[in-house]
Structure 1
């Protein structure tokens, strides 16, 4: 009964989340900006909170602020509102972190804590900021179809993997890190994601079918590894879920871990190929 209630909660929360995300992305570039800036801040804060549980002392507020500045700068640059030279402002800002730690007294491992501060920026803020490159990849014009299409591919992969794994999962995918994941789940997610890519190409014509299929393959592989990387992170600090911010889905890291690893590969594909 509790398993059924958890699934019901997961579905209801998922539907509400999908409606909020797609509405914000579709409305205009500024609602998209506010939505993903909030996502960047909440996910980064969640990461720093988990690192704190493990006994580290990262610069939570400063690191999150740097992540928000990075996201904002890349958004404005990709939108064409400011020149790309302003991205260089992020480097002296990051360097201030050394000075902050220099004046912190009675801290045994300041450079270890600095490393976790930077990791929060690299692991969370950088990939979320790169989503702006995808959003404005069509000649500097905001294309909501690109972001919605990417999310649909990721959600299809996650959903297909979940239901195929629950019903048919027998062969372990990566038992050392995530005992519940199976090869059956992986291929179930892959089939659904590829099917959605074919469907998307009929309505979102800014990319050809083969390009949507390539993006699907990237999200399947990188998204799966993103989930495993986050599982490895949680295992290293002995927790099950990153948080309980999203009922039935854990925390923001649990929900968007695949996006964090898939985004850099998708940006590279769109820019290089």
Structure 2
């Protein structure tokens, strides 16, 4: 009982500190946002390649993470108007070097499998974080509103799902991948996220209340699937958490799994519906 209480306290303290750091960096300036999420992107991608290593694969961990960091940085610098958008074309030859490295690497039984893991780490982790830059510069200049609003909706969904699932969860949502998740938890998270979207719309006026409501629906669905997808990844290598980097919370992949899958949908929604 004492151990359980200690773990909950550790989880709560780490969570509050993390929230304050994240919100502070996003609110402070474009550059503090950039450095924070670049760090998170690099850490999450490192965790992904570590999981691939547990599964017996040999991706180019350092080079793959470097390519992901370049993708994230390029998207930010283009969005901010510091470099031209044609700079994106440099990313493709940079990534193609992966084939050359594996071509000259001796002793690997499945080099193309390792190449696939390399690119998956970039597409699954770095690309969604890079797309957050586009969301942050949705109005043409950096604004904290969309990013903070999205995080509030995502955290509300996660929190509502946790407490509703613990107290009322009976009907399994996706037992093959995540036995603890329930439909009651899903709807609990959905209700809290929808309510939060209304509160967010009162303070963040870059999107209308209806657009924030639509954003909430995207996050509820895509965030849930993101969680399940990461659970599938961890189950495939038989581990509980992606890492133990954050006390009581696992790793960066564990904390941002919902955002990884939701991010492409969020940007598409902003560009096609809210533009």
Q: What is the TM-score of this pair, normalised by structure 1?
A: 0.98
Structure 1 residue 81 displacement after superposition: 1.2
Tell me, in whole angstroms, the C-alpha distance in 2 between the residues paired with 1:88 and 1:9: 45
Residue 85 of structure 2 corresponds to residue 84 of structure 1: yes
Structure 1 residue 7 displacement after superposition: 2.1
- Which secondary structure state, in structure 2, belongs to the residue aligned with residue 88 of structure 1? helix
Tell me, in whole angstroms, the C-alpha distance in 1 between the residues paired with 2:214 and 2:80: 25
Tell me, in whole angstroms, the C-alpha distance in 2 between the residues paired with 1:205 and 1:152: 15
Tell me, in whole angstroms, the C-alpha distance in 2 between the residues paired with 1:107 and 1:7: 44
How far does the alpha carbon of each residue in 1:112-143 deviate from its partner, in whole angstroms, 9 at most, with x for none?
000000000000000000000100001x2101
Residue matched to 1:257: 257
How far does the alpha carbon of each residue in 1:222-244 deviate from its partner, in whole angstroms, 9 at most, with x for none?
00000000001111111111111
Tell me, in whole angstroms, the C-alpha distance in 2 between the residues paired with 1:233 and 1:105: 28
Residue matched to 1:120: 121
RMSD of Structure 2 on Structure 1 (CA): 0.7
Residue matched to 2:42: 41
Residue matched to 1:186: 186
Task: Please list every run of 5 or more consecutive structure 2 residues that lacks an aligned counterpart in the other structure.
Answer: none
Tell me, in whole angstroms, the C-alpha distance in 1 between the residues paired with 2:108 and 2:179: 37
How far does the alpha carbon of each residue in 1:171-202 deviate from its partner, in whole angstroms, 9 at most, with x for none?
10000100000011001101111111000000
Residue matched to 2:200: 200
Task: Please list every run of 5 or more consecutive structure 1 residues that lacks an aligned counterpart in the other structure.
Answer: none
Structure 1 residue 46 displacement after superposition: 0.5
Tell me, in whole angstroms, the C-alpha distance in 1 between the residues paired with 2:265 and 2:134: 12
How far does the alpha carbon of each residue in 1:31-75 deviate from its partner, in whole angstroms, 9 at most, with x for none?
000000001100000000111011000000000000000001000
How far does the alpha carbon of each residue in 1:196-218 deviate from its partner, in whole angstroms, 9 at most, with x for none?
10000000011100000111000
Residue matched to 1:6: 7
Tell me, in whole angstroms, the C-alpha distance in 1 between the residues paired with 2:266 and 2:9: 32
Structure 1 residue 8 displacement after superposition: 1.9
Tell me, in whole angstroms, the C-alpha distance in 2 between the residues paired with 1:256 and 1:4: 25
Residue matched to 1:20: 21
Tell me, in whole angstroms, the C-alpha distance in 1 between the residues paired with 2:163 and 2:10: 15
Structure 1 residue 161 displacement after superposition: 0.4
Structure 1 residue 3 displacement after superposition: 2.8
Tell me, in whole angstroms, the C-alpha distance in 1 between the residues paired with 2:160 and 2:9: 17
Structure 1 residue 12 displacement after superposition: 1.1
Residue matched to 1:269: 269
Aligned 1:59-138 pairs, distance under 5 A = 59-138=60-139
Count of paired positions: 272
35-44 or 75-84: which moved more? 75-84
Tell me, in whole angstroms, the C-alpha distance in 2 between the residues paired with 1:14 and 1:90: 35
- Which secondary structure state, in structure 2, belongs to the residue aligned with residue 259 of structure 1? helix
- Which secondary structure state, in structure 2, belongs to the residue aligned with residue 56 of structure 1? coil
How far does the alpha carbon of each residue in 1:2-36 deviate from its partner, in whole angstroms, 9 at most, with x for none?
33322222211110000000011111000000000
